[in-house]
Structure 1
Amino acid sequence: MTDSVDTLPVDTLPGPVVSTDWLARNLGRPGLRVLDCSWYFPSQNRDTHGEFTATRIPGAQFCDVDDVSAPDTHPLPHMVPDAATFAAKIGALGVGDGDTIVTYDSAGIATAAARVWWMVRLFGSDRVAVLDGGLPKWLAEGRPTESGPAPAPEARVFTATLRPALVRSVDDVLANIDRSADQVTDARAQARFEGAAAEPWPGRRSGRIPGSFNLPHTDLIDGDSKTLLPPDVIAARAKAAGLDLDRPVVASCGSGITACVIALALATAGKTDVAIYDGSWAEWGLRADLPMDVGPRVG
């Protein structure tokens, strides 16, 4: 006799992203955890908690990227916490060992869904993917939603073990300027990369890390569907930006959010070892003792 849909195991993840069809087919199956990770700049005045309560994918929990990060006492935004903190925070959302996690956001693929995907991987689990196109694509296809306060999940045990190869500190990036072992890649728009536009984070200088490359995260996303571009196009755009995908890549951005879109996009193209400079320009641009470049990149 065939099992009913709600008792079937979760399908194997097809890769770093899953389609809306994949998620619809697996909703409600044991072991699947869906997290709404929507995040916006404070200046945008978006009530992400309220939006989640009003409209969400059935069964989703809200994962506040600032809440699962280092405590508010840290001077930089949403930095990586210690393993115990991450384990407790993600476990409180009902995510446990062996679960399959799908993250999404309300901007398609341009906010924190990729950041939470990276953090789950950073702390040891590869059973995680991002919903391609996020909530906008889900809604455009007329798929089911729910509203009202989300039922409190039962806390579960998530064993967090840091993978240090997937993260870089400011000291690592500073030392790399001379070594050039890592290709530091900036996900910000070209005007910010070249220092021609002001930074949205208060008190930050305008410019870039010396020797870094520019691969705006928006260049990796279809502007209409909010889905990632095909893997071969992503690889081509990375190479056009000057990257050698056979060498180490470290992604940076304004505060470590859209850098993770680079990591996600390159993972779909087969490069799964992209590291993130956690402090990104929110840290580098704040410190007058750190070198920076401005203007078009030469070479």
Structure 2
Amino acid sequence: MTDDPKTLVSTDWLAQHLKDPDLRLLDASWYLPDAGRDAKAEYDEAHIPGARFFDIDEISDARSDLPHMVPPVEKFMSRMRAMGVGDGHQVVVYDGAGILSAPRVWWLFRLMGQENVAVLDGGLPKWVAEGHPTEDMPPIPRDRHMTVRYQNALVRDVTQVSQASKLGEPQVVDARAPARFRGDAPEPREGLRAGHIPGSRNVHYETLLNDDRTLKSPEETRAIFEAAGVDLGKPIITSCGSGITAAILALSLQRMGHRNWSLYDGSWTEWGMFPTVPVATGDA
């Protein structure tokens, strides 16, 4: 793969840059409750040297009933200051699943106007499998100011997605598993209707990953989106269950040169419980 400090870097790249003074590593591991994994406990036990723990559920909008919605700018800035992450840093985000939740934090940094941020391809499992070091002590951060320039174009709400669903543009692309998309499988969260946003296309995030949890090449990614009926010449809104795996689609699009995308933050957790928006079932 070609390393790009604005989208995706390899474990080899990280090993070479691990001691760079301007590098900031974030462990952004997150799991659904039924995974039976405790991301913070796993971080405390072993993480890549120098990594800080980025708590996706805590660094969010506490005023919202929806899970891990985008935090207010002030909250994001204060949390990053306390973690010692700020202007002039190259940020690398990874997670304990390979690639699952790290792209969400990559997107969050982009939303806040930070472009020098990349996801570690293959994440902690690949790093450990290759014999690279881990440690169990958290780093001692020094405060660092971050300048935020909020990028409204990278996020969409239910009203904007409803309009896109009616008009057919931007295209909505759903990252959930096909059975959930069709409405054949129950949602992991209670109280949600089954199915998908009318007119949306389905690109299951798992299809974009290799067996070792690295991202497939831009060429393979392009073919997968096109096979799902997505017109890559048009703008795209990515969606999923709660705004986590939708960011895997966003990262994949960015990496293959598609710049006109945004992410539906509320995703199905919001759409599926909204009584006034329609739900489709079956294939797209």
Which of the residues 169, 178, 183 maps onto 1:190? 178
Q: Does 1:76 align with 2:63?
A: no
Q: Provide, for residues 220-259 of structure 1, a one-character-per-residue CA deviation record: whole Å limited to 9, x for no partner.
A: 001x211000110001101111111111010000000000
2: CA distance, partners of 1:271 / 1:67: 31
Question: Structure 1 stretches of 5 or more lacking a match?
Answer: 1-11
> Is the aligned partner of 1:19 residue 2:6?
no
Instruction: Say yes or no: does 1:176 pair with 2:167.
Output: no
Percent identity of paired positions between Structure 1 and Structure 2: 49
For residue 14 of structure 1, report the CA deviation from its aligned partner: 4.5
Does residue 140 of structure 1 match 2:129? yes
Show the counterpart of 1:3.
none
Aligned to 2:245: 258
Q: Secondary structure of 1:29's match? A: coil
- The alignment partner of 1:136 has SS state of helix
Structure 2, unpaired ranges of 5+ = none
Cα distance change of structure 1 residues 291 and 83 upon mapping to structure 2, 3 Å threshold: same
By how many angstroms is 1:16 displaced? 0.7
Report the TM-score when normalising by structure 1: 0.92
Shift in Å at residue 178 of structure 1?
2.2
Letter in 2 for 1:163: Q
- Specify the code of the residue in structure 2 equivalent to 1:248: P
Question: 5 Å matches for 1:207-246?
Answer: 207-222=195-210, 224-246=211-233
TM-score (structure 2 length as normaliser): 0.96
Supply the distance in 2 between the matched residues of 1:179 and 1:163 (Cα, whole angstroms). 24
Q: CA RMSD in A?
A: 1.2
Which ranges of 4 or more aligned residues in structure 1 deviate by more than 3 Å?
12-15
Please tell me whether the aligned partners of residues 103 and 251 of structure 2 are also in contact (alpha carbons under 8 angstroms): yes
Aligned twin of 2:143: 155
Q: Name the CA distance, whole Å, in 2 between partners of 1:45 and 1:101.
A: 28
> How many residues are aligned here?
282
Distance 1:286 1:106, change over 3 A: same
Aligned partner of 1:118 in structure 2 is: 107
